[in-house]
Each structure stands twice: as C-alpha cells, then as structure tokens.
Structure 1
C-alpha cells in the first residue's frame, strides 16, 4: 500500500510539474473564438505539411449543425450518428462495472464548481475540451490536470466535423492541441467529435493526427443535460436513473461512457446529482484511459512529463455480490490523468485522504 501511495504521489507531482512548465497563453496568437480556423494561416500551412492526407475517403461533405442524415445513406460512410456505425471508435468502457465519466464543451467558469465536487468525492473524469474555451480559461485547464483528471479534445469551435474539409479538421484539432499544450505541456491523444458527428473520412484525418475517437454508449447513456432548461432537471435525473437501473440489472461485463457537459451551472449542478446515482449502485467511476487500460494517456511530443497509469492504482471497492446482499459500500475511481485510486477500509481512506491533502498543498504552492 505504501509503495502504491508513493507512486500515486509521484504521478500527481508529475502532473503538477507539467502545469508549472506551461507557456503563457496569448489569445491574440490564436484564431477567432467559436469560428472555424482559416486553413491558409502560416501555422496551419505548416501543420498540413507534416501530414499526408492523400487517400482520404471521397465522401460528400455534409451541411447543417448538426447535419441531417443523408437519404439514402452513403455507401461505406460508416456514419455513427445516422448509421450507428462506430468502426473502431471507442464506444464502451473496457472495464466491467465501470462508468466512464466524461464532460464535453468546457472549460467554463462553472467547471470550477464541478472540480471542487470531484475532488471532494475523489472521482476522476475525462474532460473533452473546446480549444476556444481553453484559451479563455487556461487556469481551469491547468487545475484539471493537477487535480488528476484526463484532458482530451472536443475541437476548436464545436462545428460538426463531417461538414468540414479535411484541412479544416486539421486546423480544428491542431489549434486545440496547441492551446492545451501551451496551458499544460500535455499533447492530447483522445477526442470526441461534436454532436458525435463522425464518419470514415473524418476518422481518416483524425488518425493521421494521432487521435483516438471516443463516442458514448448510445442514447441510453446520453444524460440529456444539454437540453436543460427546455428539459427539466427532474426529467434528466429520471431518464438517466432508468438507464443506470437497466445497466445495474445486467451482468455488468463491460462498462459504459456517458455524455455530460460542464457547459454551465445547470449541467454542472445536475452532474453532482447524477454521479451519486452510480455510486449508490456500486458502479465504479473512471476516466477514459483507466477504462481503456492505457498507461500513456497523451501523445508523445509534449513539453511536460507524461502522467502514466502503472503504480497509480490504490483500491476502494465493493463487489457486486456485496451490493446484492445489501452490504453498505461506496465505489469510486479517481486518478492522475488516467490513474485510478481505490481505498478499502477506514485506515486506507485516512491515509489516502492525507496524501491527497498533501499533494493539494504542494499544488497550491506550485501554482502561486
């Protein structure tokens, strides 16, 4: 246990070091916010020279935000949102009995409240970041990293990727990559397409850039938080409760990825009510790299030490059989940019809590 805890501290200190090594972000150095970046800028031209886009599938560019489904479907497009075709996208958490916790569209000013909650409950998540928002709130992104969360891309401007040219997709991804690199020193590896809008042409470009697409586990695990306030919070909670009940009654042989957002106070508020529903059903909670058993959650080429999973696992867990017998328990998973922490028993929780507090103090000193 001592060795594992020590390794966890090491990983967290590496994350802190990565933030300390960041470059100051100047918004003037970036494209206009919330707009598709031009592809003729010197920076994008340089990026395009680094990759070979020849051989990309010749699939018609769609229109709309999000696009309507083509009728009839386009042959060999493998359009996830319309055909249900995921190709080799990640759609399920590999770990059994595990909720892959993800948040899209941030960071926003309300993300801080979510981070406070996740820290209190010792839960780690993956944040799919919009590049425009990273430039506006780099300090929040730094905190996400130092708090042990995993960072991933949600493009620069949140435009549907099947509506963009190959070159525009490169610009969307690389500007976001640069913004996160400037803020944390970490080079992103995972991404989620806005609206889940992805087909084989988009996948081709993303793979050329070294990205792994992560969708979510179907409509049942879309929390619909993005529909608030048109959809009442009670409806969001009721709908997702039914999905969790259905999952809890299954054999839980694989996990799932949800769709949540840290976009505003409403989505952040409902997240703090949704997460306890999973805990009450003894479902483990983890970030994407923990779900995927990926010990290298970022691409090489960053300017900071890469947090890794080995040695960063400490256990706090209750079995499904305990749940069925009615034994009280709490299951959570936290981690250091992909590492998970589990603790078992009062003494382990006490030691783990002390470690987290110590690291938090160090983080505070580093970031002052």
Structure 2
C-alpha cells in the first residue's frame, strides 16, 4: 500500500481518506498498529487497573482541565462531529468572528464530505482535538483498544489537515488512572468540561421528555451559567454536540448572550492554565517525550502516528482486522436478551449498576449532572440502565449516537 501523502494546509482544497487503510467506520476498540504498541505501551508506566464493564459513573477529573484560567474566558466546545449540521455551525461562527474547539470522532472522517468539513473548520482557525475513533467509553476498553481509538483518530485528522492534535477529550468524560496514563503516553492533554448543555438528549425524544429537556431552552441554560458560574475564580468550558439541527437559531442566541455578558470566547487551547501547542507539525522529527509534551509542548508527534506510516502489508492489515473483529465479539458478550428483572453488571463503591434489557452502549452525562434525574424503576423501558444508590433510582437511557 502506498504511504499517505502529507499535504500542506495552504495547498489543500479537498480532503479524502482511503477507507482501505483504516479500520471500518465506528469499529469499536480498533486494533492499533504493532509499532504503536511497542512505542507507547511496552515500556509505559500504566497502572494495573481492571477494565470496566460499564463507564465510571463518578470519574475523577482533578488531574484534567475542566475550566478556563480566567473568569471572563469561555471555551465553547463541540463533540462527536463532523456532522450534517457542522457546516451551518461554521457559517454561524464565521459571521460572529468566533473561534471554538471541535473534538472529532475519527471514523466520521471516512466520509469525504465530513473530511472536507473538518478541513474547512481547521482552515478557518478553529481548534481540532481528538475524540477517539468510535466514541467508546475508554474505561471499558483494553490498553490496546484505547491506543487504537486515540491514534487512528489522530492519524485521520493529521492526514486531512497536515497536523496532529495535542488535545484530547475522552467520550462521556470516562477516564481513570489507566486511561489517563495511556493518553499521556501519547503526549496528549486531556480536556473535559464544567458545564454540560445536555444537548445529546436530542438523540432520544423519550429521554429528553424524561429529563424535561428542550433544545430551544438551551439559551436559558447558558443564562443560568452566566448568573451562577461553576468556578469561583475560573472560566467556563461548555460541552455541546454538532450532530443536531437548530444550531443556526439556538447557538447564535447563546453566542450573543455569552459575548454580551463580557466573556471572551476562545478555543480551549487558549484559555486553560497550562496550555501546550494545539498541534504537532513536524513530520520527520525523532522520538517524543512525555515530559516535553505535557510540560512545555516541545515534543514532536510520534512518527508512527503521523499519516499512519501506512506501509502495512496486506497480511498485517488482515491481522489487524481479525483483532478488531475479536474485540467487538468480546464486547458483545455483555449484550443480553431482555428479561423482566434487572441484571447487575457491576458495583462501584456503594453504587450498584444494573440494566433492564439488552444494552450496546452507555451514555454518561457530565460529572455534575450525572445523577440529576430521579424516577421510579417501574417506569424503566427495555433500553434503560438503572443506577441504584440507597433508595434512589437514577435512570440513564442507553444511547449510541454513532449507530
């Protein structure tokens, strides 16, 4: 196979990936290349933390970036795209002269249309970050699967834009010391959030009704954040998703509200307390160093993660595909036929995690909102995960925005 060409951003007018060189779209836990494993896992100091069956319901974000440094700074971030509505959002941001951050799901870029949307966002000056290949909760993945999720996505971004992001957001904010160590071993900086718009509820009307959520109420949510900031001395990093309609009306209103309140809207890389450069751009440099990457941004992106080094043989590609299929089969063993009684999946401290019916993915909101919706278990539908703590039942709808 031919090695992917690196094209300078100024000369690029169209973008396209060769799907034959990448895992299939939305492959969960895609197998990493052998050289990635050797470079980033073999000698890495990764804690021996068990792989979760379900996402961590209370992730500890104390070691991750959750807020802008200055109280008048606001980083608006959009996850899970590019999507069909991203061009509308880009038009809106252009008119408002605002730059934001997009955390990108790599396998969406196998679509030539979405690859061009990403290129447009990058060329317009928006920050691009990595949001994994398939949007799986990472604490439920093995070390190798996590590495594949990160580096396949970063490599796709790099092939399209010519740069490899240094910023990363774990899907659902699902992180623990093991996941964080692997993220750091690749030299990436982890960004989460301190305000969740909950716009992901649009993916399931029944859940939106249960949470009493309406996308048109989002400006009211922004107004409440302005009136009651989440950080006494810092700014806001807000979470939204560019997969849904209505952004032209609702987001414009939110932008105007934020700016009228005196906030500076910035890409997240410009507002946090310990920033690193947004990207690596040197495609030929020698080995990378965690210390440089995390402390002063002086590291160079791993050569194997730059445009993939796509000189794999057909045999190695077939082996990677076999491994990917195996990883999907491993996950499918948690899918069970619906039954009348909840099935206990795991216990985390005093929290018992159960489910009713078959489950293929878990949607876990932001830390603050994780347990804000209470209702009786008898109202659970066949696709509802029940988080039981003491006498309260908290219901999470099982959603997979990528399927």
TM-score range for the pair, normalised by the shorter chain length:
0.5 to 0.7
Aligned to 1:188, which of 165, 171, 189? Answer: 165
User: How many positions carry a matched residue from both structures?
Assistant: 265
Residues 68 and 271 in structure 2, CA contact (< 8 A), matched pair in contact too: yes
Q: Distance in 2 between matches of 1:161 and 1:296?
A: 24
Q: Does residue 113 of the first structure (1) align with residue 75 of the second (2)?
A: no
2:310 corresponding residue in structure 1: none
Q: Does residue 92 of the first structure (1) align with residue 72 of the second (2)?
A: no
* Bigger relative contact order (CA 8 A; separation at least 6): 1
1:222 corresponding residue in structure 2: 196
Gaps of 5+ in 2: 1-6, 285-403
Q: Does residue 147 of the first structure (1) align with residue 124 of the second (2)?
A: yes
Q: Deviations over 1:314-365 (max 9, x none)?
A: xxxxxxxxxxxxxxxxxxxxxxxxxxxxxxxxxxxxxxxxxxxxxxxxxxxx
Q: Distance in 1 between matches of 2:145 and 2:215?
A: 36
Give the TM-score taking structure 1 as reference length. Answer: 0.67
2:24 corresponding residue in structure 1: 32
Gaps of 5+ in 1: 1-15, 70-81, 304-368
Q: Distance in 1 between matches of 2:177 and 2:234?
A: 25
Q: Distance in 2 between matches of 1:269 and 1:160?
A: 31
Q: CA deviation at 1:267?
A: 5.1
1:332 corresponding residue in structure 2: none
* Larger helix percent: 1
Q: 1:275 to 1:23 in 2, by over 3 A?
A: closer
Q: Distance in 1 between matches of 2:41 and 2:23?
A: 23
2:301 corresponding residue in structure 1: none
* Larger strand percent: 2
1:282 corresponding residue in structure 2: 262
Q: Distance in 1 between matches of 2:218 and 2:276?
A: 34
Higher deviation after alignment, 234-243 or 284-293: 234-243
SS in 2 for 1:61: coil
Residues 102 and 126 in structure 1, CA contact (< 8 A), matched pair in contact too: yes
Residues 131 and 155 in structure 1, CA contact (< 8 A), matched pair in contact too: yes
1:1-368 equivalent positions in 2, closer than 5 A: 17-18=8-9, 20=11, 24-39=16-31, 44-53=33-42, 54-64=44-54, 67=55, 69=57, 82-83=58-59, 85-136=60-111, 137-217=114-194, 221-228=195-202, 229=205, 230=208, 231-247=213-229, 253-266=233-246, 269-292=249-272, 294=275, 296-302=277-283
Residues 225 and 267 in structure 1, CA contact (< 8 A), matched pair in contact too: no
Q: CA deviation at 1:180?
A: 0.5
Give me the CA root mean square deviation: 2.4
Give the TM-score taking structure 2 as reference length. Answer: 0.61
Q: 1:68 to 1:190 in 2, by over 3 A?
A: closer
Q: CA deviation at 1:18?
A: 2.0
Residues 104 and 260 in structure 1, CA contact (< 8 A), matched pair in contact too: yes
Q: Distance in 2 between matches of 1:68 and 1:190?
A: 21
Q: Distance in 2 between matches of 1:224 and 1:102?
A: 13
